[in-house]
Protein backbone atom coordinates (compact mmCIF):
# COMPACT_ATOMS: atom_id res chain seq x y z
CA UNK A 1 0.00 0.00 0.00
CA UNK A 2 1.30 3.43 -0.86
CA UNK A 3 1.49 6.46 1.32
CA UNK A 4 -1.27 9.04 0.95
CA UNK A 5 -0.51 12.53 2.18
CA UNK A 6 -3.81 13.05 3.97
CA UNK A 7 -5.35 16.45 4.57
CA UNK A 8 -4.94 15.96 8.26
CA UNK A 9 -1.22 15.36 7.97
CA UNK A 10 -0.92 18.26 5.57
CA UNK A 11 -2.59 20.50 8.12
CA UNK A 12 -0.33 19.27 10.89
CA UNK A 13 2.91 19.77 8.99
CA UNK A 14 1.85 23.15 7.67
CA UNK A 15 0.53 23.97 11.13
CA UNK A 16 3.95 23.28 12.61
CA UNK A 17 5.41 25.60 10.00
CA UNK A 18 2.88 28.34 10.70
CA UNK A 19 3.30 28.12 14.46
CA UNK A 20 7.04 28.27 13.89
CA UNK A 21 6.63 31.31 11.72
CA UNK A 22 4.49 33.04 14.35
CA UNK A 23 7.00 32.31 17.09
CA UNK A 24 9.76 33.47 14.81
CA UNK A 25 7.96 36.75 14.14
CA UNK A 26 7.13 37.20 17.80
CA UNK A 27 10.77 36.65 18.58
CA UNK A 28 11.80 39.27 16.06
CA UNK A 29 9.33 41.77 17.48
CA UNK A 30 9.68 41.25 21.20
CA UNK A 31 12.76 39.21 21.97
CA UNK A 32 15.27 40.83 19.69
CA UNK A 33 15.58 44.36 21.01
CA UNK A 34 18.56 43.85 23.23
CA UNK A 35 20.64 42.89 20.23
CA UNK A 36 20.02 46.12 18.43
CA UNK A 37 23.17 47.63 19.81
CA UNK A 38 25.45 44.63 19.43
CA UNK A 39 28.74 46.02 18.17
CA UNK A 40 31.58 43.80 17.03
CA UNK A 41 35.19 44.21 18.03
CA UNK A 42 35.90 45.66 14.63
CA UNK A 43 33.40 48.42 15.25
CA UNK A 44 30.74 47.03 12.96
CA UNK A 45 27.20 47.31 14.26
CA UNK A 46 25.45 43.98 13.78
CA UNK A 47 22.04 45.42 14.41
CA UNK A 48 19.07 43.32 15.39
CA UNK A 49 19.13 41.73 11.99
CA UNK A 50 22.12 39.50 12.75
CA UNK A 51 20.26 37.15 15.06
CA UNK A 52 17.54 36.55 12.49
CA UNK A 53 20.04 35.61 9.82
CA UNK A 54 21.99 33.36 12.15
CA UNK A 55 18.85 31.38 12.97
CA UNK A 56 17.91 31.12 9.30
CA UNK A 57 21.40 29.96 8.35
CA UNK A 58 21.54 27.42 11.18
CA UNK A 59 18.28 25.84 10.07
CA UNK A 60 19.06 25.92 6.38
CA UNK A 61 22.34 24.12 6.98
CA UNK A 62 20.81 21.68 9.46
CA UNK A 63 18.03 20.56 7.12
CA UNK A 64 20.23 20.71 4.04
CA UNK A 65 22.51 18.25 5.82
CA UNK A 66 19.63 15.86 6.48
CA UNK A 67 18.91 15.67 2.77
CA UNK A 68 22.56 15.47 1.86
CA UNK A 69 23.11 12.66 4.34
CA UNK A 70 20.37 10.64 2.68
CA UNK A 71 21.87 11.26 -0.74
CA UNK A 72 25.19 10.01 0.57
CA UNK A 73 23.57 7.02 2.23
CA UNK A 74 21.77 5.90 -0.92
CA UNK A 75 25.01 6.11 -2.90
CA UNK A 76 26.77 4.19 -0.15
CA UNK A 77 24.15 1.44 -0.28
CA UNK A 78 24.76 0.98 -3.99
CA UNK A 79 28.52 1.02 -3.69
CA UNK A 80 28.53 -1.47 -0.80
CA UNK A 81 26.00 -3.85 -2.43
CA UNK A 82 23.63 -3.60 0.54
CA UNK A 83 20.30 -5.41 0.49
CA UNK A 84 18.54 -4.77 3.82
CA UNK A 85 18.08 -1.04 3.19
CA UNK A 86 16.34 -1.53 -0.16
CA UNK A 87 12.98 -1.74 1.60
CA UNK A 88 13.46 1.85 2.80
CA UNK A 89 14.87 3.23 -0.42
CA UNK A 90 11.82 5.36 -1.22
CA UNK A 91 11.96 6.91 2.24
CA UNK A 92 15.56 7.97 1.69
CA UNK A 93 14.67 9.30 -1.74
CA UNK A 94 11.80 11.36 -0.33
CA UNK A 95 14.08 12.94 2.26
CA UNK A 96 16.70 13.85 -0.32
CA UNK A 97 14.05 15.54 -2.44
CA UNK A 98 14.19 18.60 -0.16
CA UNK A 99 17.85 19.13 -0.96
CA UNK A 100 17.43 21.59 -3.85
CA UNK A 101 15.39 24.05 -1.78
CA UNK A 102 17.61 23.77 1.30
CA UNK A 103 20.81 24.09 -0.74
CA UNK A 104 19.36 27.12 -2.50
CA UNK A 105 18.53 28.70 0.87
CA UNK A 106 22.05 28.15 2.16
CA UNK A 107 23.51 29.74 -0.96
CA UNK A 108 21.00 32.57 -0.83
CA UNK A 109 21.72 33.42 2.80
CA UNK A 110 25.45 33.52 2.14
CA UNK A 111 24.80 35.67 -0.91
CA UNK A 112 22.80 38.12 1.22
CA UNK A 113 25.87 38.47 3.41
CA UNK A 114 28.01 39.07 0.35
CA UNK A 115 25.93 42.11 -0.56
CA UNK A 116 25.96 43.41 3.00
CA UNK A 117 22.69 42.09 4.39
CA UNK A 118 24.28 40.54 7.47
CA UNK A 119 27.62 40.11 9.12
CA UNK A 120 27.89 36.38 9.78
CA UNK A 121 30.96 35.96 7.61
CA UNK A 122 33.55 38.42 8.72
CA UNK A 123 35.62 37.93 5.55
CA UNK A 124 32.76 39.10 3.33
CA UNK A 125 33.21 42.63 4.62
CA UNK A 126 36.93 42.68 5.01
CA UNK A 127 38.93 44.83 2.67
CA UNK A 128 42.09 42.96 1.74
CA UNK A 129 45.15 44.73 2.99
CA UNK A 130 43.55 46.58 5.86
CA UNK A 131 45.51 45.06 8.68
CA UNK A 132 44.22 41.52 9.39
CA UNK A 133 47.14 39.49 8.16
CA UNK A 134 45.32 36.14 8.45
CA UNK A 135 42.47 37.29 6.24
CA UNK A 136 44.99 38.85 3.89
CA UNK A 137 46.67 35.47 3.72
CA UNK A 138 43.39 33.70 2.94
CA UNK A 139 42.19 36.35 0.52
CA UNK A 140 42.30 33.97 -2.43
CA UNK A 141 40.15 31.32 -0.74
CA UNK A 142 37.53 33.93 0.15
CA UNK A 143 37.65 35.87 -3.09
CA UNK A 144 34.28 35.69 -4.86
CA UNK A 145 36.00 34.46 -8.02
CA UNK A 146 37.09 31.33 -6.16
CA UNK A 147 34.50 30.95 -3.40
CA UNK A 148 31.33 31.11 -5.46
CA UNK A 149 32.21 28.80 -8.36
CA UNK A 150 33.39 26.13 -5.91
CA UNK A 151 30.30 26.38 -3.72
CA UNK A 152 27.94 26.42 -6.70
CA UNK A 153 29.75 23.50 -8.30
CA UNK A 154 29.34 21.19 -5.28
CA UNK A 155 25.79 22.30 -4.54
CA UNK A 156 24.94 21.81 -8.20
CA UNK A 157 26.51 18.36 -8.20
CA UNK A 158 24.44 17.33 -5.18
CA UNK A 159 21.32 18.70 -6.83
CA UNK A 160 22.13 16.78 -10.01
CA UNK A 161 22.54 13.49 -8.16
CA UNK A 162 19.31 13.93 -6.20
CA UNK A 163 17.47 14.20 -9.50
CA UNK A 164 19.44 11.36 -10.96
CA UNK A 165 18.64 8.87 -8.20
CA UNK A 166 15.01 9.85 -8.00
CA UNK A 167 14.55 9.51 -11.73
CA UNK A 168 16.42 6.22 -11.99
CA UNK A 169 14.41 4.78 -9.14
CA UNK A 170 11.09 5.16 -10.97
CA UNK A 171 12.65 3.98 -14.19
CA UNK A 172 13.85 0.80 -12.51
CA UNK A 173 10.28 0.11 -11.36
CA UNK A 174 9.19 0.03 -14.97
CA UNK A 175 12.19 -1.37 -16.73
CA UNK A 176 13.39 -4.12 -14.41
CA UNK A 177 16.49 -6.13 -15.18
CA UNK A 178 19.90 -5.20 -13.89
CA UNK A 179 21.14 -2.70 -16.47
CA UNK A 180 20.04 0.32 -14.43
CA UNK A 181 21.31 -1.19 -11.23
CA UNK A 182 24.85 -1.54 -12.51
CA UNK A 183 24.68 1.93 -13.97
CA UNK A 184 23.63 3.27 -10.57
CA UNK A 185 26.43 1.30 -8.95
CA UNK A 186 29.02 2.99 -11.17
CA UNK A 187 27.44 6.43 -10.73
CA UNK A 188 27.38 5.97 -6.97
CA UNK A 189 31.10 5.31 -6.83
CA UNK A 190 31.61 8.48 -8.84
CA UNK A 191 29.29 10.44 -6.57
CA UNK A 192 31.10 9.25 -3.46
CA UNK A 193 34.34 10.70 -4.80
CA UNK A 194 32.68 14.08 -5.39
CA UNK A 195 31.05 13.86 -1.98
CA UNK A 196 34.34 12.88 -0.30
CA UNK A 197 35.88 16.16 -1.35
CA UNK A 198 32.71 18.24 -1.56
CA UNK A 199 31.44 17.59 1.95
CA UNK A 200 34.71 18.81 3.47
CA UNK A 201 35.15 21.76 1.15
CA UNK A 202 31.63 23.16 1.56
CA UNK A 203 31.95 22.67 5.32
CA UNK A 204 35.01 24.90 5.32
CA UNK A 205 33.19 27.38 3.15
CA UNK A 206 29.85 27.63 4.91
CA UNK A 207 30.71 26.78 8.53
CA UNK A 208 34.41 26.89 9.38
CA UNK A 209 34.74 30.29 7.73
CA UNK A 210 32.34 31.83 10.27
CA UNK A 211 35.32 31.74 12.60
CA UNK A 212 37.43 33.08 9.81
CA UNK A 213 40.74 32.93 11.70
CA UNK A 214 40.33 29.45 13.07
CA UNK A 215 41.18 26.14 11.41
CA UNK A 216 41.05 22.41 12.12
CA UNK A 217 41.84 19.62 9.70
CA UNK A 218 39.26 17.33 11.26
CA UNK A 219 36.41 19.82 11.06
CA UNK A 220 35.00 18.52 7.77
CA UNK A 221 34.77 14.93 8.94
CA UNK A 222 33.39 15.99 12.30
CA UNK A 223 30.55 17.92 10.68
CA UNK A 224 29.97 15.05 8.26
CA UNK A 225 29.52 12.52 11.08
CA UNK A 226 26.89 14.65 12.81
CA UNK A 227 25.09 15.23 9.54
CA UNK A 228 25.02 11.54 8.69
CA UNK A 229 23.65 10.74 12.14
CA UNK A 230 20.84 13.29 11.96
CA UNK A 231 19.92 12.08 8.48
CA UNK A 232 19.59 8.51 9.75
CA UNK A 233 17.56 9.68 12.74
CA UNK A 234 15.14 11.65 10.58
CA UNK A 235 14.71 8.62 8.31
CA UNK A 236 14.12 6.35 11.31
CA UNK A 237 11.45 8.66 12.68
CA UNK A 238 9.76 8.79 9.30
CA UNK A 239 9.85 5.00 9.01
CA UNK A 240 8.27 4.64 12.45
CA UNK A 241 5.60 7.15 11.43
CA UNK A 242 4.83 5.07 8.33
CA UNK A 243 4.81 1.83 10.32
CA UNK A 244 2.40 3.37 12.81
CA UNK A 245 0.05 4.03 9.87
CA UNK A 246 0.18 0.34 9.06
CA UNK A 247 2.29 0.98 5.99
CA UNK A 248 5.68 -0.37 4.95
CA UNK A 249 4.73 -3.85 6.10
CA UNK A 250 7.55 -5.21 4.00
CA UNK A 251 9.96 -3.95 6.65
CA UNK A 252 10.24 -6.22 9.66
CA UNK A 253 11.46 -5.32 13.10
CA UNK A 254 14.89 -6.43 12.02
CA UNK A 255 15.00 -3.68 9.44
CA UNK A 256 14.08 -1.12 12.06
CA UNK A 257 16.76 -2.66 14.26
CA UNK A 258 19.30 -1.98 11.54
CA UNK A 259 18.31 1.68 11.50
CA UNK A 260 18.67 1.71 15.28
CA UNK A 261 22.15 0.26 14.93
CA UNK A 262 23.11 3.09 12.62
CA UNK A 263 21.83 5.65 15.15
CA UNK A 264 23.86 3.97 17.85
CA UNK A 265 27.03 3.54 15.81
CA UNK A 266 27.00 7.02 14.28
CA UNK A 267 26.52 8.59 17.70
CA UNK A 268 29.75 6.90 18.69
CA UNK A 269 31.44 8.04 15.49
CA UNK A 270 30.38 11.63 16.16
CA UNK A 271 31.56 11.43 19.77
CA UNK A 272 34.85 9.93 18.69
CA UNK A 273 35.46 12.76 16.22
CA UNK A 274 34.32 15.43 18.68
CA UNK A 275 36.71 14.05 21.25
CA UNK A 276 39.59 13.71 18.79
CA UNK A 277 39.31 17.32 17.70
CA UNK A 278 38.70 18.72 21.15
CA UNK A 279 41.30 16.66 22.98
CA UNK A 280 44.12 17.41 20.55
CA UNK A 281 43.43 21.14 20.62
CA UNK A 282 43.06 21.17 24.38
CA UNK A 283 46.24 19.14 24.89
CA UNK A 284 48.46 21.15 22.56
CA UNK A 285 46.98 24.42 23.89
CA UNK A 286 47.99 26.57 20.92
CA UNK A 287 46.16 29.93 21.15
CA UNK A 288 45.33 30.04 17.43
CA UNK A 289 43.42 26.79 17.84
CA UNK A 290 41.96 27.09 21.31
CA UNK A 291 40.08 30.31 20.46
CA UNK A 292 37.31 28.21 18.98
CA UNK A 293 36.68 26.26 22.16
CA UNK A 294 37.34 29.19 24.49
CA UNK A 295 34.55 31.12 22.78
CA UNK A 296 32.17 28.20 23.22
CA UNK A 297 33.14 26.84 26.61
CA UNK A 298 33.64 30.12 28.40
CA UNK A 299 30.54 31.85 27.09
CA UNK A 300 28.18 28.92 26.66
CA UNK A 301 29.39 26.26 29.11
CA UNK A 302 26.02 24.64 29.76
CA UNK A 303 24.87 24.65 26.19
CA UNK A 304 28.16 23.34 24.86
CA UNK A 305 28.95 20.65 27.40
CA UNK A 306 25.30 19.70 27.68
CA UNK A 307 25.19 19.23 23.94
CA UNK A 308 28.27 17.02 24.02
CA UNK A 309 27.33 14.85 26.97
CA UNK A 310 23.74 14.30 25.90
CA UNK A 311 24.68 13.54 22.33
CA UNK A 312 27.09 10.98 23.67
CA UNK A 313 25.32 9.55 26.69
CA UNK A 314 21.71 9.34 25.53
CA UNK A 315 22.21 7.08 22.50
CA UNK A 316 24.91 5.09 24.26
CA UNK A 317 22.87 4.28 27.35
CA UNK A 318 19.43 4.11 25.79
CA UNK A 319 20.31 2.11 22.69
CA UNK A 320 22.97 -0.19 24.09
CA UNK A 321 20.46 -2.97 24.56
CA UNK A 322 19.55 -4.91 21.42
CA UNK A 323 15.81 -4.76 22.14
CA UNK A 324 15.91 -0.98 22.50
CA UNK A 325 17.16 -0.65 18.93
CA UNK A 326 13.90 -2.14 17.68
CA UNK A 327 11.64 -0.52 20.25
CA UNK A 328 9.70 2.24 18.51
CA UNK A 329 9.14 4.32 21.62
CA UNK A 330 12.80 4.21 22.57
CA UNK A 331 13.83 5.11 19.03
CA UNK A 332 11.41 8.04 18.89
CA UNK A 333 12.51 9.48 22.22
CA UNK A 334 16.21 9.07 21.53
CA UNK A 335 15.74 10.26 17.96
CA UNK A 336 14.03 13.49 19.04
CA UNK A 337 16.74 14.16 21.62
CA UNK A 338 19.43 13.59 19.02
CA UNK A 339 17.74 16.01 16.64
CA UNK A 340 17.46 18.68 19.34
CA UNK A 341 21.01 18.36 20.60
CA UNK A 342 22.55 18.08 17.17
CA UNK A 343 20.65 21.17 16.17
CA UNK A 344 22.38 22.81 19.12
CA UNK A 345 25.66 21.43 17.79
CA UNK A 346 25.11 23.22 14.47
CA UNK A 347 23.91 26.32 16.32
CA UNK A 348 27.09 26.29 18.39
CA UNK A 349 29.21 25.99 15.25
CA UNK A 350 27.82 29.25 13.90
CA UNK A 351 26.54 31.51 16.68
CA UNK A 352 29.61 32.17 18.83
CA UNK A 353 31.53 33.16 15.71
CA UNK A 354 28.74 35.33 14.36
CA UNK A 355 27.31 36.79 17.56
CA UNK A 356 30.19 36.57 20.01
CA UNK A 357 28.77 36.37 23.52
CA UNK A 358 25.27 37.51 22.58
CA UNK A 359 23.77 34.32 21.18
CA UNK A 360 20.92 32.58 22.95
CA UNK A 361 18.14 30.18 22.16
CA UNK A 362 14.84 32.02 22.56
CA UNK A 363 11.49 31.82 20.86
CA UNK A 364 13.06 33.32 17.75
CA UNK A 365 15.37 30.31 17.33
CA UNK A 366 12.75 27.80 18.40
CA UNK A 367 10.25 29.33 16.01
CA UNK A 368 12.68 29.25 13.12
CA UNK A 369 13.38 25.56 13.79
CA UNK A 370 9.69 24.65 13.63
CA UNK A 371 9.21 26.81 10.58
CA UNK A 372 11.88 24.83 8.76
CA UNK A 373 10.75 21.51 10.22
CA UNK A 374 7.22 22.09 8.92
CA UNK A 375 8.33 23.09 5.44
CA UNK A 376 10.94 20.35 5.20
CA UNK A 377 8.60 17.61 6.35
CA UNK A 378 5.86 18.86 4.03
CA UNK A 379 8.20 18.57 1.04
CA UNK A 380 9.38 15.14 2.15
CA UNK A 381 5.88 13.74 2.68
CA UNK A 382 4.67 15.19 -0.59
CA UNK A 383 7.54 13.51 -2.39
CA UNK A 384 6.85 10.29 -0.52
CA UNK A 385 3.19 10.28 -1.52
CA UNK A 386 4.03 10.92 -5.14
CA UNK A 387 5.32 7.45 -5.86
CA UNK A 388 4.99 3.82 -4.70
CA UNK A 389 6.28 3.36 -1.17
CA UNK A 390 8.48 0.38 -2.01
CA UNK A 391 10.71 -0.04 -5.02
CA UNK A 392 10.08 -2.77 -7.56
CA UNK A 393 12.65 -4.76 -9.52
CA UNK A 394 15.62 -3.80 -7.38
CA UNK A 395 18.00 -6.77 -7.67
CA UNK A 396 18.52 -6.89 -3.90
CA UNK A 397 14.87 -6.46 -2.96
CA UNK A 398 14.08 -10.15 -2.41
CA UNK A 399 17.22 -10.74 -0.39
CA UNK A 400 16.75 -7.56 1.60
CA UNK A 401 13.14 -8.39 2.38
CA UNK A 402 14.01 -11.78 3.79
CA UNK A 403 17.28 -11.03 5.49
CA UNK A 404 15.58 -10.75 8.87
CA UNK A 405 13.37 -13.48 10.23
The nearer residue to another protein, 222 or 347, going by C-beta atoms, is: 222
The nearer residue to another protein, 272 or 309, going by C-beta atoms, is: 272
**How wide is the angle at C-alpha 336 spanned by C-alphas 373 and 49, nearest 5°?**
40
CA–CA dist 343, 373 (Å, integer): 12
The nearer residue to another protein, 119 or 138, going by C-beta atoms, is: 138
Residue 45 three-state SS: strand
CA–CA dist 162, 5 (Å, integer): 22
Residues with Cβ < 8 Å from 321, sequence gap 6 or more?
Answer: none
DSSP secondary structure, 177-195, as one string:
SSHHHHHHHHHHHHHHHHH
- Buried-exposed string 300-315: b where 16+ CB fall within 10 A, e elsewhere: beebbeebbebbbebb
DSSP secondary structure, 319-379, as one string:
S-STGGGG-HHHHHHHHHHHHHHHHHHHHHHHHHHHHGGG----HHHHHHHHHHHHHHHHH
User: How near is the Cβ of 264 to another protein at its closest, in Å?
Assistant: 6
CA–CA dist 191, 74 (Å, integer): 10
User: How near is the Cβ of 358 to another protein at its closest, in Å?
Assistant: 27
Looking at 207-252, list the stretches that DSSP marks H as alpha helix, in order from N- to C-terminal side. Answer: 219-244
Enumerate binding residues for another protein (CB under 8 A). 81, 83, 133-134, 137-138, 141, 176-179, 181-182, 189, 193, 196-197, 200, 204, 215-221, 254, 257, 261, 264-265, 268, 272-273, 276-277, 279-281, 283-284, 286, 288, 320, 322, 325, 395-396, 398-399, 402-405
Residue 25 three-state SS: helix
| Residues 16 and 403: beta-carbon distance below 8 Å | no
The nearer residue to another protein, 48 or 393, going by C-beta atoms, is: 393
User: How near is the Cβ of 207 to another protein at its closest, in Å?
Assistant: 14
User: How near is the Cβ of 216 to another protein at its closest, in Å?
Assistant: 5
| Residues 205 and 225: beta-carbon distance below 8 Å | no
- Write the CA distances from 81 to 115, 188, 246, integer angstroms: 46, 11, 29
User: How near is the Cβ of 118 to another protein at its closest, in Å?
Assistant: 23
| Residues 311 and 345: beta-carbon distance below 8 Å | yes
**How wide is the angle at C-alpha 227 spanned by C-alphas 27 and 287, nearest 5°?**
80
CA–CA dist 345, 223 (Å, integer): 9
User: How near is the Cβ of 319 to another protein at its closest, in Å?
Assistant: 8
User: How near is the Cβ of 176 to another protein at its closest, in Å?
Assistant: 8
In terms of Cβ atoms closer than 10 Å to its own Cβ (0-12, 13-18, 19+), residue 93 is buried
The nearer residue to another protein, 320 or 336, going by C-beta atoms, is: 320
The nearer residue to another protein, 81 or 174, going by C-beta atoms, is: 81
DSSP state, 126? P
User: How near is the Cβ of 330 to another protein at its closest, in Å?
Assistant: 14
The nearer residue to another protein, 177 or 306, going by C-beta atoms, is: 177
User: How near is the Cβ of 369 to another protein at its closest, in Å?
Assistant: 29
The nearer residue to another protein, 30 or 282, going by C-beta atoms, is: 282
CA–CA dist 282, 278 (Å, integer): 6
The nearer residue to another protein, 81 or 127, going by C-beta atoms, is: 81
User: How near is the Cβ of 178 to another protein at its closest, in Å?
Assistant: 5
The nearer residue to another protein, 8 or 405, going by C-beta atoms, is: 405
Amino acid sequence: MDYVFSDKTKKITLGVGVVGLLLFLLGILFDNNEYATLVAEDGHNYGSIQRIWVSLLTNSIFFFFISLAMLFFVALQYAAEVSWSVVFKRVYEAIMSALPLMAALVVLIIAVGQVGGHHIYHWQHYEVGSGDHLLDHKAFFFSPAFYWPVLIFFMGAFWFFVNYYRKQSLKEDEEGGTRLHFKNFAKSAFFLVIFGYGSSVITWQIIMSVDAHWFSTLFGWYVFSGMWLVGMVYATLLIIFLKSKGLLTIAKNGHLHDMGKWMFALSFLWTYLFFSQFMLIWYADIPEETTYYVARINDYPWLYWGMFFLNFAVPMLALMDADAKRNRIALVIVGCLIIIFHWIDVFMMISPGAMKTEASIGILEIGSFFLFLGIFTFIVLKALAGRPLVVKNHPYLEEGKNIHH
